[in-house]
Amino acid sequence: MTRVGFIGLGNMGGPMCGHLALAGFEVRAFDISEAALARAREAGASSAATAQDAAAGAEVVITMLPAPPQVEEVWRGIIPALAPGTLAIDMSTSSVAVGRRIVEAASARGVDVLDAPVAGQSIGAQAGTLAIYVGGSEEGFARARPLLEVMGDPSRIFHLGPHGAGYTVKLLLNLTWFIQSVATAEVLSVGVRAGVSLEQLHRALVGSPANSVFLERDVLPVLESGDYDDAFPMRLVTKDLALAVELARDAGVPVELTALVEQIHRRARVQYGDDAGEISAIRLYEDLAGIELRF
């Protein structure tokens, strides 16, 4: 039985850890939240007193953490506890630069590292249907695959290249989604203010060449019930967008649209708070236009 240390049991990590325990892996989990640890125990994991305790003796260590500073702090603390041959998997949305430093420190101990961020929101984490974007060695990916298939959809687990490729693709995926959020907010607000029925406008756009998954599916909670999805808060949205801007800068690509979309989301965060839902850019446009986008 594979011994797994799992660190970070939030809205995403908690269900992911639970799936591994229910699948029969020997999971030792840690989080700073006692309530999160209790839920992990209910799913069949044992709890650790510290991150280092969770990692000690594990064959595979997985982290699912909020942002790059936490990712670097946790891995700096646990790498000395890892035995040579351990597989380290960071499933957070983090930065390539932080990932590079972790790889350097882990390699010195003979530890293989994968970056494997996920997409699919908390509903996907709960259902075990996440998409997973992996960067790292072929050998590490092969070792990780049985665990990844428990947490994600096997048809949407992608090995994308060397270290950092997973982080890069995840940041670009998020960037595309947040650009679509702003574009959808603008289009729907203009159309409704111009006198077109929201229902008819939405139906026409979905049936057009301009359709997208965001327009067809992801915006529906807002249009149907005013749900801006607070499972993923604006403080994390703006973190991800800042990382995308940093990635573009490091790649030497000017990204004027990305910079503007980041600023719009920062404005929504200031307006509605750190814990406001991830689609709050639409709420910002609703308020600016003096309308509610509801069927």
Q: Using alpha carbons, select from 101, 62, 55, 108 the residue that is nearest to residue 78.
A: 55
- Does residue 170 have an active-site annotation? yes
Phi, then psi, of 231 in degrees rounded to 5: -65, -25
Please pick, among 28, 143, 163, 170, the residue that the annotation labels catalytic.
Answer: 170
Query: Catalytic residues, which ones?
Result: 170
